[in-house]
Chain A
Amino acid sequence: MADAFVQGLLLVLQWKAFVFMLLGIGVGFWVGLLPGLGGATTLALMLPFIYNMQPVEAFAFLLGMHSVVATTGDITSILFGVPGEATTAAIILDGHAMAKKGEAGRALGAALASSLVGALIGAGALALAIPIVRPLVLTFGSPELFMLAIVGLAFIASLSAQGARGMLRGFLAGGLGLFLAMVGQDPQAGIGRFTLDTLYLWQGLDLVPVLVGLFALPEIIDLVVRGTSIAGGVPPGRISHGALEGVKDVFRNFWLTIRCALIGTFVGITPGLGGAVAQWMAYGHATQSARSPEERSRFGAGDVRGVVGPGAACNSKEGGALIPTIAFGVPGSTSMAILLGGFFLLGLVPGPDMLTKHLPITFSLVWTIVLANIITVAACFLLLNRLTALTAVPGHLLVPVILVLVFIGSYTSNSSYADILVTIIFGAVGYFMVMAGWPRAPLVLGLVLGKIAENYLYISVARYDAAWLARPVVLVLLAIAIGVICYPVFQAWRARARSHAHG
């Protein structure tokens, strides 16, 4: 196995494979930066180019592209508050708040460094999981997946403001998200729910226009209203300075970074949960690291831990997502489904063979993720000054460009005018939520987890009746969910106890 590990590296370092990887990284870099244009679509577009490549070259190209999308997506999210990818929305909350305070450099530094750590951990998990991958994936049946969705929903407690009022608002927003997830044809009876008699809503609300509306439009309105640049009155020279500080932040919160990366890997391994979930669970977990209510209230206003957490999770999930694809030929996401098509194209059949006969190729995938991320992060650091300078550009010059990109981005999800309409409607919803102090994160969490929770609950009950409730992993996950919900209460209690001790 150690042999295969080294062989894998040598395969990627062959000059042709390496050049194709650089090409892939170049493409992925731009796809990540542009809002809306997603990694999956680009993979589908790039698939024809691999016809005449060797397997290692092809995967260096495709995976190189795919694994940097999340990193550069973070950049757009932080600088403009516009989600560069559906998987990089959570980083906006604190990342963009930092950019507005003139700390874009520090936020980007932290995001890039945590992305790199995340990617390395994800790739490491992939390498380590190879011997035990089959039992690992097979442990998680539908009941376990349902409970995982519940654990995800429990993070609403951490994503809401403190106190009874904050919790109530958080769970109401989460409820709205769950409701929005119901839109579309239901999978049990085939009946359309809340489709307003339109064909557009048959397949449910698309995540991209909703996210772009919810997060980008309020920021754009805010920028216009303020009439300044994104970073307000902060002199341009200072903005890019904090990059090193941001890198240090990652190491100051090293265990948090590791934990969030592990959350990402885990969500990635679990087919069906979807990449959009990982970032929010990680963000929720990051807010739990606040030691006092005052500290907690700084989340959303530019706490660097709110950048580090999702940054790490977003990149570590890719390594995880490859696991079921390689070991079973069962893709965990759309991107992986397209990559699977690539496997067939090259005459490789994913499945047990990838863990024995083709092990060097499997390890070459691990190495591609590692190298692609290192190269991208290095390139981003070189460009950091130029990127952060964008936050010093006056709003009236920036807004038209961002608006065009935002609407083109959401239009690409269905090529339908209704995409634009959804963006505007959720823009209004997002704006009023910000104005009234309602948290947006629970709404998104409800939306991304609603369908998963509903379907797996149905399957669990239909398949096992009530017996699924007694499965050991289900019970463990239930305990975790309860712990996650109670944690903010415990935090408040501990803070009170401490202030009593002082007083």
Chain B
Amino acid sequence: MTWKLAALVAALGALPVVAAAQANFSGKTITIVVGYKPGGGYDATARMLARHLPQHLPGKPTVIVQNMPGGNSIIAANHIYNVAKPDGLTIGTFNRNLPIAQLTRVAGVKFDITKFAWIGSAANETTILAIRDDLPYKTFDDLRKAKEPVVIGSTGPGANTYDFPLLLKDLLGINLKIVSGYSSSADIMLAVERKEVDGRAGSYSSIQPFIDRKLVHPVIRARSSDKRLQQLPLDEDFAPNPRAKAIMALRSAPELIARPYVLPPATPADIVKTMRDAFEATIKDPATLAEAKKTQQDLEFTPGDEAEKILKEVLSQPKDIVDEFSKYIKFGE
């Protein structure tokens, strides 16, 4: 009898601790799993958030970053989906194009991207095409009238340096010649500098320093919520038919959630809510923003429910559009 009583007392005593553990991360360590090696953009964002998140999470936990590279971050996504516990202590961030991998049925994908508990996205990207300043193509109209092929440097299929100009060329008939195989976007920039190529596509944030330096200027963009770029022509406006427009929209959709952050599927709702609030507060925090500005990252929080809406739109495309899309776009990077 006494032992039962003792057990009851112990259980009662333990109860508040258990309840607190769900909403409170006090004394815990949260790991952000990044699907890339250290040194890239995804890694930089994760490390910056890891520094500022603790102030906005209840209990001020320690937040660390773990790199799990490979398979263009499919490995990390598989891990979060199948292995990580849904206790809020493991967060995943990975390739924004994973929805495309799922859509085009890439081998090795062992997750359903819509079933993650989405915290949201920490940034969005706008893909632009930039042309060297010394060339006569000042506007997109000039480019459409180009007689000689305009040489565009790129890394390879699956990257926006390749896919965006490919659609401009194949769907809008712009006279482009895409040369791929450069090892990084910095490498392409150097090729622009030595006039080996006439321009490159890429995210606005990565090209901006070179625009400021008057090496290149932007001529056209993909879908974007960036206010600074609204006056730049939009690729979809030139689409000759609805199908071409749908393909362009599909390619650019993941860029609206360019730094995805997720929790494992079936994470309790209160933890998801706590995380969403913490991410939103962190990204709005002037300290985070000041640091982001210095490191040339544009942070913008897209909450998880909006991210899920974008994903559903991507994944609910009719089969003929998906088939057509797969002809042009391969999953990569």
| B47 and A330 contacting across the interface, CB-CB below 8 Å | no
| B179 and A330 contacting across the interface, CB-CB below 8 Å | no
The stretch of A152-160, A343-351, A382-390, A401-409 that contacts the partner chain: A343-351
* B window 147-188: CB within 8 A of A: 151, 153, 155-158, 177, 179-184, 186-187
| A199 and B74 contacting across the interface, CB-CB below 8 Å | yes
The stretch of A286-294, A431-439, A457-465 that contacts the partner chain: A457-465
Choose from B47, B75, B197 the contact partner of A48 (Cβ within 8 Å): B47
Choose from B75, B180, B294 the contact partner of A345 (Cβ within 8 Å): B294
Q: Which residues of A contact B190 (CB under 8 A)?
A: 137, 271, 324, 328, 330
| B69 and A188 contacting across the interface, CB-CB below 8 Å | no
CA distance A338 to B40 in the complex (A): 8
Any A CB within 8 A of the CB of B108: yes
Q: Which residues of A contact B296 (CB under 8 A)?
A: 344
Choose from A140, A187, A351 the contact partner of B180 (Cβ within 8 Å): A187
Give the distance to chain A from B67, nearest Cβ to Cβ, in Å.
Answer: 7
Give the distance to chain B from A51, nearest Cβ to Cβ, in Å.
Answer: 7
| B332 and A334 contacting across the interface, CB-CB below 8 Å | no
CA distance A45 to B74 in the complex (A): 24
| A199 and B193 contacting across the interface, CB-CB below 8 Å | no
Give the distance to chain A from B197, nearest Cβ to Cβ, in Å.
Answer: 7
Q: Which residues of B contact A415 (CB under 8 A)?
A: 66-69
* A window 276-335: CB within 8 A of B: 324, 328-331, 334
Any B CB within 8 A of the CB of A179: no
On whether A416 and B179 interact (CB within 8 A), knowing A200-B70, A344-B295, the answer reads: no
Q: Which residues of A contact B191 (CB under 8 A)?
A: 141-142
On whether A138 and B294 interact (CB within 8 A), knowing A334-B39, A459-B182, the answer reads: no
| B158 and A190 contacting across the interface, CB-CB below 8 Å | yes
Choose from A48, A202, A351, A458 the contact partner of B71 (Cβ within 8 Å): A202
Q: Which residues of A contact B189 (CB under 8 A)?
A: 328-330
* A window 188-214: CB within 8 A of B: 188-190, 197-200, 202-203
| A341 and B44 contacting across the interface, CB-CB below 8 Å | yes
> In this complex, what residue of A is CB-closest to B330?
A190
Any B CB within 8 A of the CB of A456: yes
Choose from A138, A197, A337, A463 the contact partner of B151 (Cβ within 8 Å): A463
> In this complex, what residue of A is CB-closest to B78?
A199
Any A CB within 8 A of the CB of B236: no
CA distance A452 to B182 in the complex (A): 9
Give the distance to chain B from A41, nearest Cβ to Cβ, in Å.
Answer: 5
> In this complex, what residue of A is CB-closest to B297?
A344
| B186 and A416 contacting across the interface, CB-CB below 8 Å | no
Any B CB within 8 A of the CB of A489: no
Any A CB within 8 A of the CB of B83: no
Any A CB within 8 A of the CB of B59: no
Q: Which residues of A contact B66 (CB under 8 A)?
A: 415
| B69 and A337 contacting across the interface, CB-CB below 8 Å | no
Q: Which residues of B contact A197 (CB under 8 A)?
A: 107-108
Give the distance to chain B from A190, nearest Cβ to Cβ, in Å.
Answer: 3
Give the distance to chain A from B238, nearest Cβ to Cβ, in Å.
Answer: 25
| A455 and B294 contacting across the interface, CB-CB below 8 Å | no
Any A CB within 8 A of the CB of B72: yes
Q: Which residues of B contact A199 (CB under 8 A)?
A: 70-71, 74-75, 78, 108
Q: Which residues of B contact A344 (CB under 8 A)?
A: 294-296
Q: Which residues of A contact B331 (CB under 8 A)?
A: 190
| B197 and A463 contacting across the interface, CB-CB below 8 Å | yes
Q: Which residues of A contact B107 (CB under 8 A)?
A: 197
Q: Which residues of B contact A347 (CB under 8 A)?
A: 294
What's the interface size class on B, roughly?
35 or more
> In this complex, what residue of B is CB-closest to A134?
B193
> In this complex, what residue of A is CB-closest to B50?
A48
Give the distance to chain A from B145, nearest Cβ to Cβ, in Å.
Answer: 22
Q: Is the interface of A mostly helix, strand, loop or mixed?
A: helix
Any A CB within 8 A of the CB of B196: yes
> In this complex, what residue of A is CB-closest to B210?
A329
Any A CB within 8 A of the CB of B38: yes
| A329 and B74 contacting across the interface, CB-CB below 8 Å | no
CA distance A209 to B26 in the complex (A): 38
| A337 and B39 contacting across the interface, CB-CB below 8 Å | yes
> In this complex, what residue of B is CB-closest to A464?
B196
| A272 and B183 contacting across the interface, CB-CB below 8 Å | yes
Q: Which residues of B contact A137 (CB under 8 A)?
A: 190, 194
Any B CB within 8 A of the CB of A414: yes
Any A CB within 8 A of the CB of B291: yes
CA distance A154 to B53 in the complex (A): 52
Q: Which residues of B contact A414 (CB under 8 A)?
A: 37, 68-70
| A44 and B39 contacting across the interface, CB-CB below 8 Å | yes
Any A CB within 8 A of the CB of B213: yes
Any A CB within 8 A of the CB of B58: no
| B294 and A330 contacting across the interface, CB-CB below 8 Å | no
Any A CB within 8 A of the CB of B209: yes
> In this complex, what residue of B is CB-closest to A140?
B194
| B183 and A190 contacting across the interface, CB-CB below 8 Å | no
Q: Which residues of A contact B68 (CB under 8 A)?
A: 414-416
Q: Which residues of A contact B44 (CB under 8 A)?
A: 341
> In this complex, what residue of B is CB-closest to A325?
B186
CA distance A311 to B69 in the complex (A): 31
Q: Which residues of A contact B284 (CB under 8 A)?
A: none
| A203 and B72 contacting across the interface, CB-CB below 8 Å | yes
| B181 and A203 contacting across the interface, CB-CB below 8 Å | no
Give the distance to chain B from A422, nearest Cβ to Cβ, in Å.
Answer: 12
Any B CB within 8 A of the CB of A491: no
Give the distance to chain B from A420, nearest Cβ to Cβ, in Å.
Answer: 14
* B window 190-220: CB within 8 A of A: 190-191, 193-194, 196-197, 209-210, 213
Choose from A203, A338, A451 the contact partner of B69 (Cβ within 8 Å): A203
* A window 137-155: CB within 8 A of B: 137-138, 140-142
CA distance A272 to B108 in the complex (A): 30
On whether A187 and B209 interact (CB within 8 A), knowing A40-B38, A344-B295, the answer reads: no
| A190 and B179 contacting across the interface, CB-CB below 8 Å | no
CA distance A206 to B319 in the complex (A): 37
Any B CB within 8 A of the CB of A228: no
Give the distance to chain A from B112, nearest Cβ to Cβ, in Å.
Answer: 17
Any B CB within 8 A of the CB of A185: yes
On whether A190 and B156 interact (CB within 8 A), knowing A141-B196, A463-B197, the answer reads: yes
| B182 and A455 contacting across the interface, CB-CB below 8 Å | yes
| A187 and B181 contacting across the interface, CB-CB below 8 Å | yes
Q: Which residues of B contact A454 (CB under 8 A)?
A: 181
* B window 228-262: CB within 8 A of A: none
14 residue pairs from A and B, CB less than 8 Å apart = A41-B38, A43-B39, A44-B39, A44-B43, A137-B194, A141-B191, A187-B156, A187-B181, A272-B183, A329-B209, A344-B296, A415-B69, A458-B181, A459-B182
Further pairs besides A330-B187, A337-B186: 13, Cβ < 8 Å? A40-B39, A51-B291, A187-B180, A188-B181, A190-B156, A199-B108, A202-B108, A324-B190, A328-B193, A329-B209, A329-B210, A415-B68, A416-B70
Q: Which residues of B contact A (CB under 8 A)?
A: 37-39, 43-44, 47, 51, 66-72, 74-75, 78, 107-108, 151, 153, 155-158, 177, 179-184, 186-187, 189-191, 193-194, 196-197, 209-210, 213, 291, 294-296, 330-332
